């Protein structure tokens, strides 16, 4: 049977009709559920992005091309070893070229492409990043503009659909010099060259709320019908024995007591301790952390804690089965929102120690490290984490994160954070905290961390279940960077693993001004006048000049002036 190939047909003044698409992901690489035929939004206003909800009919969306759009025209720039082709009319302004090879792709300069500005291999590598197909190259009189083999569509962050792998778009001329294999399609509704993207989303400040595409991916996971799962053989457990299970993202403890089987959740309701590691004695299982007792068959608390969830168990001829419903959690938690926000703001290093009150956040950081987005460096004492952050930030000028558990683990940061505070160095401290239900009565490792940190961290906030988690993390980073100081986030244990639903991570886009300071012309002239008049000039270099030392040394050599540095510099 012939395999059906994917096709895209733009509906007149309506959505994109997509058929037979198998690979459909959001900007994070998460798969979005597909159907044989899908209607994808291209008016920019759907409440169920990336899918169409009919809003285009009520807002007057039109797919007419703008008469004053950038001309759809192929230009060629011939160099010594390569010819670069460009079509500005279909550029989606993704910025991969100008960001990765500014010596060749020169923003604000005409001609904007210098084909001899870099090695041909580097030029080809960067051209292959172009999602729109606007860029291609020729070698030996042969143009190369096919880069992707697998048919797929990607919903880019606040931008167009990336279409790759030769997906046919019906009744549409893709343009002179454009790749027929990969291209971008407008999602904001503002392009003057529809259905192609022309970068208008940048000027329209299109914000699709990335959480909607996260939610679209999550819908793929929400088929949570109960199912029976075999978990043990009939003779596997002796009386009084137990077995640890990890099923469908849930920790479960299977037990056999007085000939009966039972299964309960493996996380203690007291402080999230590992009940799953407990031992059954006299028909009772106790959490190894604090000894709180529970019935291993029913999950009923034998103390003052909340009862635990129990699962149905059946003993069949071929084994022991548990009835379990897949967790509704998408895997997108509050901690994931915070971790992705850190990455979006440019955090590259986290120094810390993992323990019982920061495991949720630790898992989110682990995933980011696995993706290559940041590096986690474990330490043996929290004070070392704070000093490492301070030193890293002084050298790099970028914020780092120190990460600890609650109580004494958090307070061990103090001396290192004071070092950062006194030297005006951007550092973010993220500390665990006890569950919110234990705030106040003075439970194990509960310390008023906000009060404890208020003198060293001008920005110190508790992350609560209903906080805007991406925004709160962004504010912490902005305060650290702009004020060059310490910012502090307090993460209660239970909040870390809450399902974040459709919450999106924060971003620095539009939130930071250029921090470089330029003196007035009058001040520069006065300084030069005084320098010319002096007989034995001395240059004192401060920390703020650390990135301009080549120019300072050249200036000092011209003046024949010695150079001194401040303590911090």
Q: Domains, the chain, ranges and CATH? A: 1-221 (no CATH), 227-324 (2.102.10.10), 334-497 (3.40.50.970), 521-565 (no CATH)
pLDDT more than 70, % of the chain: 93
> Mean pLDDT, to the nearest integer, of 547-551?
85
Supply the mean pLDDT for the chain. Answer: 88
β-sheet bridge partners, residue 246 = 251
pLDDT digits (tens, 9 = 90+) for 191-221: 998 999 988 888 887 876 555 555 554 544 4
- State the burial class of residue 128 (Cβ atoms within 10 Å of its Cβ: 0-12, 13-18, 19+): middle
CA distances in angstroms from 51 to 27, 35, 39, 81, 298, listed in the order given: 15, 11, 6, 45, 44
Which two three-digit tokens encode residue 128? 């292959």
> Mean pLDDT, to the nearest integer, of 269-284?
87
Q: How sure is the predictor about 330, in pLDDT bands with cuts at 50, 70 and 90? A: low
Task: Supply the pLDDT for residue 220.
Answer: 45
Whether residue 158 has pLDDT greater than 90 = no
β-sheet bridge partners, residue 490 = 431, 462
Q: Residue 67 contacts by C-beta under 8 Å, 6 or more apart in sequence?
A: none
Helix (H, G, I), strand (E, B) or coil at 349: strand
Residue 275 per-residue DSSP state: G
> Mean pLDDT, to the nearest integer, of 370-375?
86
Whether residue 231 has pLDDT greater than 50 = yes
Identify the CA nearest to 441 among candidates 261, 212, 243, 271: 271
Cα(107)–Cα(77) distance, integer angstroms: 15
pLDDT digits (tens, 9 = 90+) for 439-492: 776 677 778 899 999 999 999 999 999 999 999 999 999 999 999 999 999 999
Whether residue 222 has pLDDT greater than 80 = no
Helices 414-422 and 382-396, axial angle in degrees (round to 10): 20
> Mean pLDDT, to the nearest integer, of 375-392?
95
Among positive and negative, which fits the CA dihedral 347, 352, 356, 362? positive
């Amino acid at each position: 049977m012939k395999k059906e190939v994917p096709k895209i047909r733009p509906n007149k003044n309506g959505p994109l009709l997509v058929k037979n698409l198998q690979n459909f992901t959001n900007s994070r690489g998460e798969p979005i559920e597909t159907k044989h035929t899908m209607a994808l939004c291209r008016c920019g206003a759907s409440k169920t992005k990336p899918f169409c909800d009919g809003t285009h009919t009520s807002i007057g969306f039109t797919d007419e091309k703008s008469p004053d759009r950038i001309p759809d025209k192929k230009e060629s720039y011939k160099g010594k070893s390569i010819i670069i082709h460009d079509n500005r009319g279909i550029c989606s302004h993704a910025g991969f070229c100008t960001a990765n090879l500014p010596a060749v792709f020169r923003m604000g300069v005409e001609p904007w492409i210098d084909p001899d500005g870099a090695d041909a291999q580097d030029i080809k590598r960067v051209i292959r990043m172009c999602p729109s197909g606007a860029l291609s190259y020729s070698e030996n009189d042969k143009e190369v503009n096919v880069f992707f083999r697998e048919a797929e569509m990607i919903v880019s962050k606040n931008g167009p659909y990336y279409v790759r792998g030769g997906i046919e778009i019906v009744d549409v001329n893709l343009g002179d010099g454009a790749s027929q294999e990969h291209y971008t399609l407008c999602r904001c509704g503002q392009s003057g060259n529809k259905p192609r993207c022309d970068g208008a989303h940048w000027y329209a400040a299109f914000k699709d709320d990335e959480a909607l595409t996260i939610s679209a991916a999550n819908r793929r996971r929400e088929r949570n019908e109960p199912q029976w799962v075999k978990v043990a053989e009939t003779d596997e457990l002796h009386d009084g024995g137990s077995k640890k299970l990890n099923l469908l993202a849930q920790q479960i403890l299977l037990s056999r007591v007085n000939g009966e089987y039972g299964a309960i959740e493996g996380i203690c309701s007291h402080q999230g301790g590992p009940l799953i590691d407990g031992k059954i004695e006299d028909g009772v299982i106790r959490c190894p952390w604090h000894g709180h007792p529970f019935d291993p068959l029913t999950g009923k608390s034998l103390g003052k804690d909340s009862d635990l969830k129990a699962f149905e168990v059946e003993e069949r001829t071929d084994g022991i089965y548990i009835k379990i419903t897949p967790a509704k959690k998408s895997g997108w938690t509050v901690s994931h929102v915070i971790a992705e926000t850190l990455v979006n703001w440019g955090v590259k290093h986290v120094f810390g120690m993992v323990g019982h009150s920061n495991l949720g956040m630790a898992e989110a950081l682990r995933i980011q490290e696995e993706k290559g987005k940041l590096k986690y460096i474990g330490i043996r004492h929290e004070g070392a984490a704070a000093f490492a952050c301070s030193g890293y930030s002084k050298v790099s000028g970028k914020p780092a994160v120190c990460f600890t558990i609650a109580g004494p683990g958090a307070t061990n940061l103090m001396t290192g954070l004071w070092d950062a505070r006194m030297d005006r160095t951007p550092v973010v401290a993220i500390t665990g905290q006890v569950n919110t239900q234990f705030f106040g009565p003075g439970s194990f490792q509960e310390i008023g961390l906000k009060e404890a940190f208020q003198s060293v961290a001008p920005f110190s906030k508790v992350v609560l279940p209903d906080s805007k988690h991406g925004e709160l993390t962004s504010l912490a980073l902005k305060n650290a960077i702009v004020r060059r100081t310490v910012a502090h986030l307090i993460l209660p244990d239970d909040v870390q693993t809450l399902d974040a639903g459709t919450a999106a991570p924060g971003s620095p886009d539009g939130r930071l001004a250029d921090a470089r300071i330029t003196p007035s012309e009058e001040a520069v002239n006065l300084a030069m006048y005084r320098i010319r008049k002096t007989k034995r000039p001395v240059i004192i270099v401060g920390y703020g000049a650390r990135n301009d030392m080549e120019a300072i040394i050249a200036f000092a050599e011209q003046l024949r002036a010695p150079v001194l540095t401040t303590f911090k510099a």
